[in-house]
Amino acid sequence: MSELTGVIHDIGYQRYTGPRLGRRHVFGALYLHGVRTAFGLGRSAKAKIFPWLVVAIVLVVAAGLTAVRAQFGEVVMTYAQFADAMSWLVIFFVAVAAPELVSRDLRSGVLPLYFSRPLPRGDYALAKLGALATALWLLLGAPQLVMFLGAAFTTGDGMSGVWHELLDLLPGLLYAALWAVVFASIGLLIASLTGKRAFAAGGIVAIFLMTTPVVGVLSIMPSPTINELAFLASPSTLVGAVGTWALGDLLVPEGQGGGMPIGDFGPVYAAAVVLLVAGCVTLLLLRYRKVAAR
């Protein structure tokens, strides 16, 4: 047996000695990555098709409404009614974005990698939730901004006209935020249950669509109380009812017959929204307390 001559070469590996960014930065990075993922930014062209299809449709509709208003001076839809009219597209966008955000991580088994970093479990879920809510708010807010700009530049009353228009826009954006939070929390919870994106998308659409006819049936029951509480049954009408109660005339001007016949149950609806969102977030956090390695 010959003499051992092996040596260990120093090929320059070094420990990292730079600054270590804290929890806030991890959260921020995950959040920003989530928002970009929702729109397919930084990904292949195929991943951009569906998000940008939805964005294109809402922007075209907004541009059309603006053009009608500029040409004929007729307000087809207020800012809040725009959010209501786009509800099916919002559902579709959730069905596209939510599985991209959480189901892919489940399927490719990278969650143990995430959680081996100094990242609390809750932060992962909350960052994804925040990203989806932001993406939805941008989806609803951007067309409203287009409508606002169109109205502001064609107003005949100078600055006061612009100011009035801005006062109309702000409740609309607030209402869009309510939409975003409710739909994001429900959609992300459903998507986090399965690693198959296709199945998550189907489940989200099924949950949102199957609740709408329930409202229709409940609102023709032979009892005024049930009729006024019927809008609790579906997320989209629930959001509409809370908007009617909280923002009221700010959303739909008088004389348009807008708003929902919710009677005196406004606070019940507000409590229901808070409970719904809180429940979904709690379940989401519970969901990520323990994740399978594969």
Partner 1 sequence: MSTVGWITARGLFGRRRFLILLPLPLLLVGLAVLCRSLNVAPSDWGPAVLVGLGLAVVLPVVALVVGTGVLGAEIEDGTVVHILTKPLPRWQIVLPKLAVATAVSAATVAVPLFVAGLLADSVRLGLALAAASALGALAYSALFLALSLLTRRPVLLGLVYVLIWEGLLGRFADGTRVLSIQQWVIALADRMAPTDLLGTTVSVPVAAILTGLVAVGFTVLAIDRLRSFSVAGETS
Q: Which is nearer to partner 1, 92 or 269 (CB)?
A: 92
Instruction: Find the binding residues for partner 1 in span 60-89 (CB under 8 A).
Output: 88-89
Left, alpha or beta for 280 (phi > 0: left; psi -120 to 50: alpha)? alpha
99: which DSSP letter? Answer: I
30, 113, 121, 198, 254 from 101: Cα distances, Å = 10, 16, 15, 13, 41
Q: Which is nearer to partner 1, 26 or 204 (CB)?
A: 204
Which position among 83, 91, 135, 251 is part of the footprint of partner 1 (CB under 8 A)? 91
CB of 275 to partner 1, least distance (A): 21
Which position among 22, 156, 158, 222 is part of the footprint of partner 1 (CB under 8 A)? 222
Sequence-distant contacts of 228-233: CB under 8 A, at least 24 apart: 228/261, 228/262, 228/263, 228/264, 228/265, 229/265, 229/268, 231/260, 231/262, 231/269, 232/268, 232/269, 232/272
Which position among 29, 60, 221, 278 is part of the footprint of partner 1 (CB under 8 A)? 221
Binding of residue 292 to partner 1 (CB under 8 A): no
Binding of residue 220 to partner 1 (CB under 8 A): yes
Binding of residue 34 to partner 1 (CB under 8 A): no
Left, alpha or beta for 263 (phi > 0: left; psi -120 to 50: alpha)? left
Tokens of 203: 């489940």
Instruction: Find the binding residues for partner 1 in span 94-113 (CB under 8 A).
Output: 95-96
CB of 131 to partner 1, least distance (A): 19
Tell which residue, 143, 70, 132, 77, has the closest CA to residue 103. 132
Q: Which stretch binds partner 1 (CB under 8 A): 144-152, 208-216, 259-267, 286-294?
A: 208-216
Q: Which stretch binds partner 1 (CB under 8 A): 5-13, 212-220, 256-264, 272-280?
A: 212-220
Q: Which amino acid is at 84?
A: D
CB of 91 to partner 1, least distance (A): 7
CA quadruple 263, 206, 128, 102: dihedral, nearest 10: 170
Q: Which stretch binds partner 1 (CB under 8 A): 126-134, 202-210, 271-279, 280-288?
A: 202-210
Tokens of 171: 């409740």
Binding of residue 174 to partner 1 (CB under 8 A): no
Which position among 2, 17, 44, 71 is part of the footprint of partner 1 (CB under 8 A)? 44
Q: Which is nearer to partner 1, 201 or 246 (CB)?
A: 201
Contact 236, 212 (CB under 8 A): yes
Which position among 36, 57, 145, 155 is part of the footprint of partner 1 (CB under 8 A)? 57
Indicate the burial class of 155 (C-beta count within 10 angstroms; 0-12, 13-18, 19 or more): middle
Which position among 68, 76, 149, 214 is part of the footprint of partner 1 (CB under 8 A)? 214
Binding region for partner 1 (CB under 8 A): 43-44, 46-47, 50, 53, 57, 88-89, 91-92, 95-96, 194, 196-199, 201-203, 205-206, 209-210, 212-214, 216-217, 220-222
